Amino acid sequence: MLHPQHDPAVRVGARPLPGQEDLLHRISELQNEIGQLHDAVVSRAVVDQAIGVVIAVGGLRPDQGFEILRHVSQTTNIKLRQVAEQIVDCTNGESLPDEIRQALDVALSTARSA
């Protein structure tokens, strides 16, 4: 198997072989897609962790956890993933930003009384 630095078609200034441009373009697209999927998996893990924190702190049912996060995200106009990251970070001793804390307090109070 040739390494890119040994492949004459990949050297700087070399012209790609016929059909190789399409292949290189497709490889680039697939690498981007892999990166996006990796980010989605990591983001989902953080959201799931935050749901667990909300459920534990609020004494709520599992189905209420995501709704609380969604409500806080919409109320504060902060992306759900960022809200989730902040909530998970607060379990490690970091303080929760005031606007997220206030929206979370209201959402938890509302959910408990329902």
pTM for the whole structure: 0.68
For residue 55, give the nearest of 65, 63, 47 by alpha carbon.
Answer: 65
At 39-53, the pLDDT tens digits run: 776 778 899 999 999
pLDDT at 82: 94
Domain spans of the chain?
37-113
Residues of the chain with pLDDT below 50 are 1-2, 9
* Encoded tokens for 37: 């999927």
